[in-house]
Amino acid sequence: MSFNSAMKKHIATAGVAVLLLINFRDMAQPQITRKDLLTVLVSEQKLANVEIKSVTLPAGQAAPKHTHPCPVVGYVASGSVLVQIEGEEKRILREGEAFYEPKDRTILHFDNASATEPLTFIAFYLKEGEEDLIKLVR
């Protein structure tokens, strides 16, 4: 075998190895996925800023009856929450599920649904300006 033939054989072998590595790398990487959690139309709000809060409620903790002067969207990071907006049914949201609390609607329940585990949720407050995040209802 001549030098040129041997060199071509090594180059071809190296090329195949590179292609296999590229294909293996592409197969090994996880694909990006998107999961729809919630879509909310917030037409009554002029958005000036967004405050994002991580909130943790201890096991069995119930939030007081309240309203928000701005819409709030969020998701349950861990645990489960019992949610009820005035005029709607109670529901349980679990880790990974999203929620919406409308502006100026009374939130009857936003309670940790577990007597043994904490609840952590991430809340996005869609603010017009300097309004408070929450108002307690008596």
According to the model, what pLDDT value does residue 26 have? 57
According to the model, what pLDDT value does residue 127 have? 93
Give the pTM: 0.75
Neighbours of 123 (CB within 10 A): 19
Q: What is the spatial distance between Cα 62 and Cα 56, in angstroms, rounded to a whole number?
A: 11
Beta-strand relationship, 80-85 and 107-112: antiparallel
According to the model, what pLDDT value does residue 42 have? 80
According to the model, what pLDDT value does residue 38 have? 85
Q: Which residue numbers in the chain have pLDDT < 70?
A: 1-28
According to the model, what pLDDT value does residue 46 have? 85
- Tell me 96's DSSP state: T
CB burial string 107-116: b at 16+ within 10 A, e below: bbbbbbbbee
